[in-house]
Amino acid sequence: MIREMFQRGYDWVSGIGTGIVGAVSKSVNGRGGVIQVVYVIGLTALMAGFVNAIITPVPNQGVIIYAGTGSEAIPEAVINSLVILLGGVGIYLVYLSGRQTTNPRNVNLYLMVALLLIAVSIITGIDIANLKGY
């Protein structure tokens, strides 16, 4: 009984290691993985304005949306990155709805959810721009 418990623990720990190695090797081989996720997060962070939030910081980083047009707070950059990712997921779901050939009932669902995500992303982006004073 004790041996089985240790064996299960060893298998669990070795499974974590092989999972990490597998994810990195898949990303190097081009089949998806950690490097692609880090790339998307980094690109989204650059698009959202993290560099602007670091170079021209605002005096009060506790505010969610800073009202000045030249500066940006870090929480605002986080919200911008989530808005960008939300729109990207919506665009990807539109792509998936066009490729959905096995179950035609899913096409309408994918398209409806995708258009909803894109609409929420656009409305939130416009609302943030209005709060900033653009």
Residues 28 and 48 placed together within one structural domain of the fold: no
Residues 43 and 26 placed together within one structural domain of the fold: no
Residues 62 and 125 placed together within one structural domain of the fold: yes
**Global pTM value:** 0.65
How does 68-93 read in b/e, with b if 16+ C-beta sit within 10 Å?
eeebbbbebbbbbbebbbbbbebeeb
Instruction: State CA 134 to chain mean position distance.
Output: 26
Residues 87 and 101 placed together within one structural domain of the fold: yes
Residues 71 and 108 placed together within one structural domain of the fold: yes
Report the alpha-carbon distance of residue 19 to residue 13 in Å, rounded. 10
Residues 42 and 15 placed together within one structural domain of the fold: no
pLDDT in tens, 74-124: 788 888 888 999 998 999 888 888 876 667 777 888 889 999 999 999 999
Q: Indicate the average pLDDT of the chain.
A: 77
Residues 127 and 95 placed together within one structural domain of the fold: yes
Q: How many domains is the chain partitioned into structurally?
A: 2
Provide the residue range defining the domain that includes 62: 34-132
Report the alpha-carbon distance of residue 112 to residue 122 in Å, rounded. 15
Residues 39 and 97 placed together within one structural domain of the fold: yes
Residues 24 and 50 placed together within one structural domain of the fold: no
Residues 89 and 108 placed together within one structural domain of the fold: yes
> Given this model, what pLDDT does residue 121 score?
93
Residues 23 and 76 placed together within one structural domain of the fold: no
> Given this model, what pLDDT does residue 77 score?
82
CB distance 132 to 68 below 8 Å: yes
Q: What percent of the chain has pLDDT over 70?
A: 71
